[in-house]
Amino acid sequence: MLEKITLAHGSGGKASHELIEKLFVASFGSKALVAMEDSAVLQAGRETIAFSTDSFVVDPIFFPGGDIGSLAVHGTVNDLAMRGAKPLYLAVGMIIEEGFSYADLETIVRSLKAGADKAGVEIVTGDTKVVQVGKADKIFINTTGIGLLDEGLDISAKNCRPGDKIIMSGTMADHGATILCQREGLQIQGGFTSDSAPLNHMVSAIIREAGNSIHVLRDPTRGGVGTTLNELALTSEVGIRIREKDLPVRGDVMGACELLGLDPLYLANEGKLLAFVEPGAAESLLAVIQKTEYGENACIIGEVIADHPGQVVLETIIGSARTVDMLHGEPLPRIC
Amino acid sequence: MLEKITLAHGSGGKASHELIEKLFVASFGSKALVAMEDSAVLQAGRETIAFSTDSFVVDPIFFPGGDIGSLAVHGTVNDLAMRGAKPLYLAVGMIIEEGFSYADLETIVRSLKAGADKAGVEIVTGDTKVVQVGKADKIFINTTGIGLLDEGLDISAKNCRPGDKIIMSGTMADHGATILCQREGLQIQGGFTSDSAPLNHMVSAIIREAGNSIHVLRDPTRGGVGTTLNELALTSEVGIRIREKDLPVRGDVMGACELLGLDPLYLANEGKLLAFVEPGAAESLLAVIQKTEYGENACIIGEVIADHPGQVVLETIIGSARTVDMLHGEPLPRIC
């Protein structure tokens, strides 16, 4: 019997999933929630909308490549885009610790606005709470977004099909490695930064190219590519095979991961997507992604198979195969 | 020059307003945000929707009449209803302190679900973050909601008109007094409790009765009736006159307020609304409210006047008049 909430329950890995399934899904019982997607797809009168929420508690709040403000915009914009929706509106809820620097708040607000402008969404409503010193850590930001869906699109975590090619839109683990290096006070040699970025324009481009050939889109944030692929294998009841040699990781990020003793497969990305697409459309969609901002390093990392449903298998560089599990064990708190 | 965020910035009073206007509205510049309503009214394709967010940091998290879960549902449902929208969907984002009791989390989740069922809304998506011990205070909950608006309704903070009667749907200050008594460890003699409740069914009933006679709806939460009336007087550029003898306050709540040295006009309500309605429809709308759940103590507390725009005047019991300001000075943190 579980008695206490632990950091692992917020890691995005196995413990998070158990909490969500056993408590939230079991209690709330909503069909949209049960689907375990990045955002809920809902009927609002005659329109189909996507709806997604995320709270950001990243530590540190300023980091190379962004801050908690830009991250909060990108995170929710991307969750909406991963259902094929066009993000329209954001609500921003802030919980601020008494004594927080007004200048820092201004910087974060500017960053929220710049992020929203870049993504083409409007911040339309908000809320601010202040708690006493020591009752929160500087600032937490919730963003919740609404997107509009075109009829006919069906992009969902349950749609992986054997044969699908898996495109990754760029290098892996940049955000997670950046945050952890900052936190540990490690000097980053290669100068890599968080990949935090809005992916909605990239998604629009591939939908225009061949929307019906796209089965699944997912941004591998908390828990990383390894956990995300496991979620998809379970939800779609298929096997997934990826090749180590094709996984895109920057050399300096890999070096940092080795130093930290962490596998880049489990580190968060905040500006990358995984696209599961019909094999015949894979090359043309890859070419489209490579031409978009944030997509130049995109590549095909594997495919969906009918064997061993629910599992992810990695073909290693030396030719052996190993199962890739969901993130468990050591939690990496407050990555986003 | 402001250097630090203070508790007053989260109080819902004057400092909150200045922060919102000078930083958030000035930076984000959205038309919907500028309107300073309880929820934004937006176009989503062919539909008009309401969209509202609120973070809940109430302390204590369990209190007579509710808990942070039910409060979080009612707060957002009511903000949607105050534009005349029918609340449909809620997103729930939780920030939990490591070590938080799983049993308490279960209680709160049950309470979120019961609140949603009672209001007739669906919890469709969520997010959970866990931060280290001492980096948050037990649990914070953000709820963000979507509601659907009927065409033709125009219920807005800018619509107060001279002559409008002001209906208050029940007694004042119950929530604020309950939380403060709990926090101070005061034994509540009369056994009053928080009024936290969903008001959307009450709003539906008055819209069915005479939707076009309703100019403004507002739930006087943080900052209380005094602050809310000031906001409306400013937004609509009208004067507001209320009569002390007509302000509904329970005797035991008034006693607690006197003990605490607080004015019930500035204490939060979480299950009450103020309705500004055409004078000819006031009696029939009042009768409808009195017949709904949570509305039995409704009464008319004053009216809109053309004199002294932007100001709220209280006619005291002894016949004198005094200006009612927005809440400022002593902040009451974490009331909701």
Q: What is the 3-state secondary structure (H, E, C) of A189-255?
A: CCCCCCCCCCCHHHHHHHHHHHHHHEEEEECCCCCHHHHHHHHHHHHHCCEEEEEHHHCCCCHHHHH
Q: Least CB-CB distance to B109: which of A24, A30, A130?
A: A24
Percentage of chain A beyond pLDDT 90 is 85
Residue A309 within a domain? yes
Residue A142 and residue A125: Cα distance in Å, rounded? 12
Residues of A with Cβ-Cβ distance to B126 under 8 angstroms? 20, 24, 28, 33, 53
Q: Least CB-CB distance to A124: which of B42, B99, B130?
A: B42
For residues A51 and A104, state if they share a domain. yes
Q: Least CB-CB distance to B52: which of A125, A130, A134?
A: A125
Residue type, B281: A
Contact B54 A95 (CB under 8 A): no
Instruction: Compare A152 and A177 and report the one with higher pLDDT.
Output: A177
Residue A56 and residue B128: Cα distance in Å, rounded? 10
For residues B198 and B270, state if they share a domain. yes
Nearest chain A residue (CA) to B97: A5
Output the pLDDT for position A58: 97
Nearest Cα to Cα of residue A52 among B78, B142, B41, B130: B142
Estimate the crossing angle of helix A174-184 against helix A251-260, to 10 degrees. Answer: 50
Q: Which of residues 135-194 of B touch A (CB under 8 A)?
A: 135-137, 140, 142, 144, 146, 148
Residue B31 within a domain? no
User: Does A27 have pLDDT greater than 70?
Assistant: yes
Q: What is the mean pLDDT of chain A?
A: 94
Estimate the crossing angle of helix B282-291 against helix B200-210, to 10 degrees. Answer: 140
Cis peptide before A60 (omega within 30 of 0): yes
Contact B57 A146 (CB under 8 A): no
Residue A222 and residue A240: Cα distance in Å, rounded? 19
Nearest chain A residue (CA) to B37: A125
Output the pLDDT for position A327: 83
Contact B109 A28 (CB under 8 A): yes
Which parts of chain B sit beneath pLDDT 70?
1, 188-190, 329-331
For residues A78 and A199, state if they share a domain. no
**For residue B81, what is the domain's CATH number?**
3.30.1330.10
Nearest Cα to Cα of residue A52 among A23, A24, A90, A21: A90
Looking up tokens 């031409």, which residue turns up?
A291
How many structural domains comprise chain A?
A: 2
Residue A115 and residue A245: Cα distance in Å, rounded? 34
- Is the separation of the CB atoms in A95 and A138 below 8 Å? no
Looking up tokens 């606005």, which residue turns up?
A113
Residue A163 and residue B113: Cα distance in Å, rounded? 40
Residue B236 and residue B310: Cα distance in Å, rounded? 8
pLDDT band at A21 (very low <50, low <70, confident <90, very high): confident
Q: Least CB-CB distance to A131: which of B45, B106, B333?
A: B333
> Which of A131, A148, A165 lies at the terminal end of a domain, its last residue?
A148
Cα dihedral B15, B17, B18, B20 sign: positive
Contact A137 B135 (CB under 8 A): yes
Q: Which of residues 35-54 of A touch B (CB under 8 A)?
A: 39-40, 42, 44-47, 49, 51-54
Residue B301 and residue B242: Cα distance in Å, rounded? 6
- Is the separation of the CB atoms in B292 and B275 below 8 Å? no
Report yes or no: A100 at the B interface, CB cutoff 8 Å: yes
Q: What is the pTM of this model?
A: 0.96
Residue B214: phi and psi, rounded to 5, are: -95, 120
Domain that holds residue B192: 157-324
Residue A26 within a domain? no
Q: Within 13 Å and on the Cβ side, how many CA atoms surround B102?
A: 14
Distance to chain B for A145, nearest Cα, Å: 9
Residues of A with Cβ-Cβ distance to B103 under 8 angstroms? 3
Output the pLDDT for position A328: 79
Strands A66-67 and A62-63 turn out to be antiparallel
DSSP output for A112-175: HHHHHHHHT-EEEEEEEEEE-TTSB-SEEEEEEEEEE--TT----TT---TT-EEEE-S-SSHH
Output the pLDDT for position B2: 84
For residues B209 and B288, state if they share a domain. yes
For residues B116 and B174, state if they share a domain. no
> Which of B92, B114, B148 lies at the terminal end of a domain, its last residue?
B148
pLDDT band at A5 (very low <50, low <70, confident <90, very high): very high
For residues B161 and B258, state if they share a domain. yes
Q: Within 13 Å and on the Cβ side, how many CA atoms surround B126?
A: 29
Neighbours of B175 (CB within 10 A): 32
For residues A41 and A98, state if they share a domain. yes
Nearest Cα to Cα of residue B275 among B234, B233, B232, B217: B217
For residues B137 and B181, state if they share a domain. no
Residues of B with Cβ-Cβ distance to A4 under 8 angstroms? 98-102
Neighbours of A263 (CB within 10 A): 15
Residue B69 within a domain? yes
Residues of B with Cβ-Cβ distance to A333 under 8 angstroms? 98, 130-132
For residues B140 and B227, state if they share a domain. no
Nearest chain B residue (CA) to A103: B3
**For residue A181, what is the domain's CATH number?**
3.90.650.10
Contact A44 B47 (CB under 8 A): yes
Residue B145: phi and psi, rounded to 5, are: -130, 155
Nearest Cα to Cα of residue B278 among B155, B98, B97: B155
Nearest Cα to Cα of residue A169 among A281, A288, A279, A264: A288
Structure tokens at A13: 């890995």
Residues of A with Cβ-Cβ distance to B136 under 8 angstroms? 57, 135-137, 140
Contact A10 B129 (CB under 8 A): yes
Report yes or no: B107 at the A interface, CB cutoff 8 Å: no
Residues of A with Cβ-Cβ distance to B10 under 8 angstroms? 96, 128-131
Q: Within 13 Å and on the Cβ side, how many CA atoms surround B200?
A: 27
Interface contacts A/B by beta carbons within 8 Å: 278
Distance to chain A for B217, nearest Cα, Å: 18
Q: Where are the alpha helices (DSSP H) in chain B?
A: 14-19, 26-28, 31-34, 68-81, 102-119, 174-184, 200-210, 224-236, 251-260, 282-291
DSSP output for A254-322: HHHHHHHT--GGGS--SS--EEEE-GGGHHHHHHHHHHSTT-TT-EEEEEEESSSTT-EEEE-TTS-EE
Output the pLDDT for position A189: 63
Distance to chain A for B129, nearest Cα, Å: 5
Nearest chain B residue (CA) to A125: B33
- Is the separation of the CB atoms in A171 and A283 below 8 Å? no
Report yes or no: A128 at the B interface, CB cutoff 8 Å: yes
Nearest Cα to Cα of residue A250 among A216, A208, A297: A297
Neighbours of B289 (CB within 10 A): 26
Instruction: Compare A298 and B11 and report the one with higher pLDDT.
Output: A298
For residues A180 and A243, state if they share a domain. yes
Structure tokens at B290: 């009195």
Residue B330 and residue B180: Cα distance in Å, rounded? 13
Residue type, B21: E
Residue B302 within a domain? yes
> Which of A148, A167, A200 lies at the terminal end of a domain, its last residue?
A148
For residues A221 and A317, state if they share a domain. yes
Residue B96 within a domain? yes
Residue A13 within a domain? no
Report yes or no: A123 at the B interface, CB cutoff 8 Å: yes
Residue B9 within a domain? no
Contact B100 A5 (CB under 8 A): yes
Q: Least CB-CB distance to A47: which of B47, B129, B142?
A: B47
- What dihedral do alpha carbons A162, A167, A171, A173 form, nearest 10°? -40
- Is the separation of the CB atoms in A222 and A149 below 8 Å? no
Residues of A with Cβ-Cβ distance to B132 under 8 angstroms? 7, 333-334
Residue A127 and residue B217: Cα distance in Å, rounded? 19
Distance to chain B for A320, nearest Cα, Å: 36
CA distances from A101 to A139, B24, B215, B252 (A): 10, 15, 40, 41
DSSP output for B117-163: HHHT-EEEEEEEEEE-TTSBSSEEEEEEEEEE--TT----GGG--TT
Report yes or no: A21 at the B interface, CB cutoff 8 Å: no
Residue B105: phi and psi, rounded to 5, are: -65, -40
Instruction: Give the largest Cα separation in chain B, rounded.
Output: 57
For residues A164 and A291, state if they share a domain. yes
Residue A187 parent element (H or E): none
Contact B5 A105 (CB under 8 A): yes
ipTM: 0.96
